[in-house]
Amino acid sequence: MKQPIRVLQIIGFVCGGGVEAVIMNYYRNIDRNKIQFDFVIDGYEKTSLDNEISSLGGKVYKVEPYTKNPFKNIYQIYRIVKDNNYQIVHSNMNTLSIFSLFAAWLAGAKVRILHNHSTAVKSEKLRSAMKYILRPFAPIFANEYLACSKHAGEWMYGKKKMEEGKVKVLNNAINVDDFAYNPNLREKLRHDLNIDKDTLVIGHVGRFMYQKNHDFLIDIFKEIHKQKNNSLLLLIGDGSLRATIEAKVQNYGLKDCVKFLGLRKDVKDLYNVMDVFVLPSWYEGLPVVSVEAQANGLSCFVSDKVSKECNLSSSMHFISLDENAEVWSKAILGSNIRRNKNAKQELIANNFEIKNEVKKLIVFYRKK
């Protein structure tokens, strides 16, 4: 039997973020008799992905985090590529891909893919400064270019490359059926979380970091709670700013109506608990959580800084970040909050069903 093509996926730190969710969605649904993924992960500790990757036939390589020792990180990736003769290296590290793809180039990998999943905003200061500094260099050692959206592609590669067709957009597709609304799960999970069936639940999934703008999200919920006392904010995720946001919630006197659930493996089920999904991000490529929330039929309210390409259904609403929290709350409470029964058909029509999109990725790899 012919052996599958092995693709080395560089994903950096495992932290419950959207990039690893996208790659794992493709990995779970790809024909692994044709294409097999192996992974390079920063840090030596066990991660939430290790067992699943192994069960699907993949290998996991742990390397020194680039934040601690970039030279050791590059050398270790070089050795992994060289010793195992990887011919396709797919780096999902955005502008930081300069380092992993340099290692792949040195090791002789024929296909070196730069996959951009993000953009930047100048107000993030140091993090964005690094992105802008590295951006011109990121594609140097790549010879194939991917992006999660046209917006992310133009930010990384420029409009000219996009218009010339040199960049392929790989949609952040999902298994739509996995995220379909389930009223029985809603009832069970609301009971488990001690949430009354009549409570309006505002939901958010994302790491506690500047990009996701939790600070403003709390302001929005404060205004919602003023108008609708029987409301609750459900926050799924973890990150460096969690303690700061918890302190703000406490300061606002909202502790009893904000639930911090941390990292969860049942996120797809937890969408059923929500009534509204809110994502006031400062910037995004194309957030997979917005796709998941729409697949569940949720009314979604996202900032105007989020790519318009995530407008996949009639459930999506964009609001400017120039508007204050009161405007956001009025828009949310004034909307017709109900599940979108046409969610599945709309996502399939917009090419965000993974079963179809994964076939395109197989063709992309096999042509190399």
Q: Are residues 295 and 309 in the same domain?
A: yes
My answer on whether 186 and 142 are in the same domain is no
Range of the domain at 219: 176-349
Looking at residue 133, what is its pLDDT? 85
Closest CA to 312 of 293, 331, 291: 291
Q: Alpha-carbon distance 47 to 13, whole Å?
A: 9
Measured between alpha carbons, how far is residue 339 from residues 178, 215, 229, 276, 329 in Å? 16, 27, 22, 9, 19
52 CB-contact burial (10 Å; exposed 0-12 / middle 13-18 / buried 19+): middle
Percent of the chain surpassing pLDDT 70 = 98
Q: Is 220 found in the same domain as 286?
A: yes
The residues facing 232 across adjacent strands are: 201
**Most distant pair of Cα atoms in the chain: their distance:** 64
Q: How many separate domains does the chain show? A: 2
Q: What is the CATH number of the domain that holds 293?
A: 3.40.50.2000
Q: Tell me: the pLDDT tens digits for 175-226?
A: 999 999 999 999 999 999 999 999 999 999 999 999 999 999 999 999 999 9
d(CA 236, CA 264): 7
Are residues 22 and 164 located together in one domain of the fold? Answer: yes
Shared domain for 317 and 342, answered yes or no, is: yes
Residues with Cβ within 8 Å of 266's Cβ and at least 6 positions away in sequence, in order, are none
Same domain, 152 and 225: no
129 pLDDT exceeds 90?
no
Same domain, 162 and 244: no
Query: Do 257 and 192 reside in the same domain of the chain?
Result: yes
In this structure, are 148 and 109 located in the same domain? yes
| Predicted confidence band of residue 118 (pLDDT cuts 50, 70, 90) | confident
Same domain, 329 and 190: yes
Query: Which pLDDT band holds residue 124 (cuts at 50, 70, 90)?
Result: low
